[in-house]
Structure 1
C-alpha cells in the first residue's frame, strides 16, 4: 500500500466516498474529466485497481481518455506508471486502465471480469442498450460506475437514468465552469462570446441545461453522432469560415460516403488572430494537401494563408446559396458527426429557423449557431452549385 495525500477540488470530493454511481454532469469547462482522471490515477497508485474507461464511440485509442491520463502522469510526475499505446499500468500496485468503446465492443465488455471502477466519459451519447449490458457487467463486490457528461436532451437515456430517475446509492452533482477555479482563458473567451451573442447556446453549453426539442430546429432528426469508416472513400472536402474580430474561426473536414455526409474533424477558436490561423488549421489532418474553400468576404485572409502554404479558394455565393446549401446537406440519408467535433454537434442541435411572437416557424434561417455549418457549406459549394445547375437544366427541358 502507498500513502499519498490528495484532495480533489471541492465539488469532486465525493469521488473518494463509496457510492455505486458517481455522476457528474453539467457545462463545458467544469473540469469533470480532469478531476475524474487525476483521482483515478491517485487511487491506482494506492491500491490495485482494474479501471475500465469506456465511451459509446471509440474508433481508436485517440478517441479515449488515454491521452488525458498520460498527460496528467507527466504533469504531476506520478511514479511507477507505464504507458503503452493501448493500456496504462502501475508497476507497483498492479493497477491497469483499459479503454473500450461501447457501441462496437459491448459483447466483449460483457465478458470482462474483475472491473473495480468503470468510468463512462461523454456519457450523454450512451444508448439504453449499452447501459443495460454495461451495468450488470460491473459486478465485482464494491465496484463503482463513474459517469461524466454534458447533457443534450431531457429524454436522452443517460439523463433519464441518472438525473431524472437516479438509482439508489448514487451521488449526482451538476457542475459548471463556475466550479472550476482554474477555468482557462481560451474557454473563457468562448463562454463570454456565447453569453453575449446567443444566451440559449450559453445556457446549454456552459450552464449544462438541456436543449428543448423544437420543430424550428433545422437538422432535427437529420444527424447523429458516430464514427464512419472512410478508408475506401476519396470524397473529402475542407471548408473554412472566418472569425473576424470576435466570432469563431473554423475549419472542417467533410466526407461523402455513399448516402452519408460525415464530419470527422474540426478546428474552432473564438477571437483567432490572422497570425494564429495557420496553427489553428494544422489541427485538421490533410488541410495542406487539399483545397480549402472559404468565405469569400475576406480576400486578404485568403491571400495571407495561401502565402503560408495553404491552397484556399473563395467559395461562390449566389442568391439563396445558404438555403441551397442547407437543403443539399439535408438531402443525405443521414449526417454523421464524429463526437470529437463538439462545436459542430452543438450547432447541429441548435441551428434553427426564425419564429414569430406567436411561435410560428418562418421560412428564414437564424443567423447564429452556424459557423461550423457555414464552413461545411463552403466545403461542398461546388457540389451544391452543380446540383442546382442540373435542376435548372431539367426544369428548362420540362
Structure 2
C-alpha cells in the first residue's frame, strides 16, 4: 500500500519518546497522524492508546477519524471496527479513553506501545504528570497534536517552551498541507484582511498571549508608507541556520516614527546562498548593514561578496536598551509584505509566571529574529536609559 504524506511526517517514523505536531487550522495534523498510525499498526503489532483531556463518549475521540482513514486507504479488510474500539488482524489495537474521567483506568492499562494525545492544548499539568509515567513500556512513544491556545497552558509550557529531551517538535500549518484547498484558503485570506492577531492564532498556530506581555504591545500597526527618497535606510541582519536568518530594512521618519519597509527571512540557508537572498531586499548592497557579531565568518564572506557589512557592538544590556529604543518611537509601522516581522511583533513576549500569572521582566528568547535584526540596524542610536529626546539628539 502506498499513500502520500507531507514532508514533516518523515521525522515521526524515527524513534523519539515525544513526537509533537502543533499549529493552526487546515494543517492536516490529525489526518496525517491517523494515517501514520494505521500504516504502523499494519506493519507491526502495536497497542495504541488514543486519548484527550475530555472524552464523554466515543464520539469525542479520534475513533471516527481512524475509521474513515482505514476505509479511504482501502485496508478495511485488515481491521475490525466496533463502536468502542479498532483492532487489526495482526493483533494491533486502538484504545480510546479520556484523561480527566478515566485516569485511573489509564494508569492500570498495560503494554501501551504508543499514546496519541489529541487536542492536547486542553490537557492539564496534573494529567500530564499521571499519563507520562503510565506510558512506560520500553521504547514506547507519546504522540501529541494540538492547536495552541495560551502560552501559559500546561502543554505549551511542557513541550514548546521547555522542550524535553528525546523529542521532535514540528510546527505544522496550512502551508505544510499539500492538500490545502481553495475554500480554506479563501477563509484564511478573509481573516487575515480584517484581524491579523486572530489570523496568527487561527491559521499560523500562534498562542494567544496576554497583550501586556507582548514586548511591542500598543506600539505598532500594519501600514505601507512611501518614505521620502532623501531618507537613508538602515539595515540589520541576524544570522541563523536552524534558526531563521533575517535582514531588515527600516527608516526613521520625522524623528518620530519607525517604518519597517522590507525583510528577508529564511531557514536553512547555506552561507553561499546568502548574497542572493540579501539582494531580495532593495539597496542592501548600497548601504551599511549591521549584523550579529556572533558569526564573524559570515560577515567576512558577505564582505567579499560586496556587501558593506559590519559586526554589532552588543554589550551588557544591549537587548533591553535596543527594545527601549524601538519602543521610544511614537509609532512603528510595518509594511504588510513583511509577514515574518508582523508575526514576531505579535509574539515576542516577556515570560509570565505560571503560578501567579504576573508578567516578569525576563524576555522569552523566541520569535525575535527580525527584532534582533532591527536592533542591530538601529544600534548606532542605542544608549542606556534612552528616551525619544536622546534619540532626536542622536539624529
| Residue 47 (structure 1) aligned with residue 47 (structure 2) | no
Shift of 1:210: 1.1
Asked if 2 retains the 8 angstrom alpha-carbon contact of 1:6 and 1:42, the reply is no
Q: Which residue of 1 aligns with 2:164?
A: 167
Using the size of structure 1 for normalisation, the TM-score is 0.52
| Residue 84 (structure 1) aligned with residue 61 (structure 2) | no
Give 3-state SS (helix, strand or coil) of 2:143's partner.
strand
Mapped to 2, the partners of 1:195 and 1:13 lie a distance apart of 30
Shift of 1:5: 5.1
Of the three residues 108, 121, 124, the one matched with 1:127 is 124
| Residue 34 (structure 1) aligned with residue 23 (structure 2) | no
Mapped to 2, the partners of 1:139 and 1:189 lie a distance apart of 45
Mapped to 2, the partners of 1:184 and 1:160 lie a distance apart of 32
> 1:301-323 CA deviation, whole Å, 9 max, x = no partner?
xxxxxxxxxxxxxxxxxxxxxxx
> 1:224-278 CA deviation, whole Å, 9 max, x = no partner?
xxxxxxxxxxxxxxxxxxxxxxxxxxxxxxxxxxxxxxxxxxxxxxxxxxxxxxx
CA pair 6-142 structure 1, distance change in 2 beyond 3 A:
farther
Asked if 2 retains the 8 angstrom alpha-carbon contact of 1:51 and 1:96, the reply is yes
Asked if 2 retains the 8 angstrom alpha-carbon contact of 1:122 and 1:150, the reply is yes
Q: Which residue of 2 aligns with 1:62?
A: 59
Q: Which residue of 2 aligns with 1:205?
A: 202
Asked if 2 retains the 8 angstrom alpha-carbon contact of 1:20 and 1:169, the reply is yes
Q: Which residue of 2 aligns with 1:21?
A: 18
Mapped to 2, the partners of 1:186 and 1:125 lie a distance apart of 28
| Number of residue pairs the alignment of both structures matches | 212
Greater CA radius of gyration, 1 or 2? 2
Shift of 1:6: 5.6
Q: Which residue of 2 aligns with 1:74?
A: 71
Give 3-state SS (helix, strand or coil) of 1:24's partner.
strand
TM superposition outliers: structure 1 runs of 4+ over 4 Å: 4-7
Shift of 1:189: 2.6
Shift of 1:12: 1.2
Shift of 1:186: 3.2
Q: Which residue of 2 aligns with 1:95?
A: 92
Mapped to 1, the partners of 2:24 and 2:33 lie a distance apart of 15
Shift of 1:214: 4.4
Mapped to 1, the partners of 2:102 and 2:69 lie a distance apart of 27
| Residue 117 (structure 1) aligned with residue 114 (structure 2) | yes
CA pair 86-98 structure 1, distance change in 2 beyond 3 A:
same
Of the three residues 175, 188, 192, the one matched with 2:189 is 192
1:290-309 matches, cutoff 5 A: none
Shift of 1:178: 0.5
Shift of 1:130: 0.3
Using the size of structure 2 for normalisation, the TM-score is 0.52
CA pair 61-185 structure 1, distance change in 2 beyond 3 A:
farther
RMSD: 1.5
- Unmatched tracts of structure 1, length 5 or more: 216-398
Asked if 2 retains the 8 angstrom alpha-carbon contact of 1:7 and 1:13, the reply is no
